[in-house]
Amino acid sequence: MQHVKIPQDRIGVLIGEGGETMREIESRAEVRLDIDSENGKVEVEQTGDPVRGLKGPEIVKAIGRGFAPDEALSLLDDDMMMFDLIDVDAAARNKNDLERQKGRLIGENGRTRELMEELTGASVVIYGTTMGVIGTPKQVDVVRSAAEMILDGAPHGSVYSFLERKRNEMKREGMEFHQFPG
């Protein structure tokens, strides 16, 4: 059994209308969720296939960090799919810097975040003080590198060039793109 804590404002998304999302996670990941809506604690207990069950806590964490349930459930589409979290707060000096860093990651009208998704095939969400990424290990690695470049102050243009270069590499290596609906 694993325990995951999610923000209060994400509990409703995890449960879904009439418990629909919760039931879908339980059935597809072969787990049982015990959600304490008072404090945001979620117990995840494996009920079936242990490999699928390992994805249960990751799905709950992903939803807790701002992903839509269908994007979080994509972790079950392929054994290689993974969820990664980048702590934006750790790269910030103070509250104002945190907001500036989040703004740089999102980009004007969300363009930087969108380009990270388009050029890697990963799904990217910026929520609270974190940036979440769902994709294959290679996709997640490229997004993490791009985010670190931005957080280190690199100009957006050079980050976009880096993303283009990596996309071309991935295409040459014949990597398939898991394009997310969005």
Quick check: 13 and 67 in contact, CB under 8 A? no
Domain finish residue from 56, 76, 96: 76
Quick one: tokens of 103?
A: 């703004």
- Amino acid type, 133: V
Domain harbouring 97, CATH code: 3.30.1370.10
Domain finish residue from 76, 109, 139: 76
Q: Which residues span the domain enclosing 145?
A: 82-172
Q: Count structural domains, the chain.
A: 2
pLDDT in tens, the chain (182 residues): 999 999 999 999 999 999 999 999 999 999 999 999 899 999 999 999 988 999 999 999 999 999 999 999 999 998 899 999 999 999 999 999 999 999 999 999 999 999 999 999 999 999 999 999 999 999 999 999 999 999 999 999 999 999 999 999 988 887 655 555 44
Measure Cα distances from 23 to 18, 57, 64, 163 in Å: 9, 14, 16, 37
Does 51 share its domain with 120? no
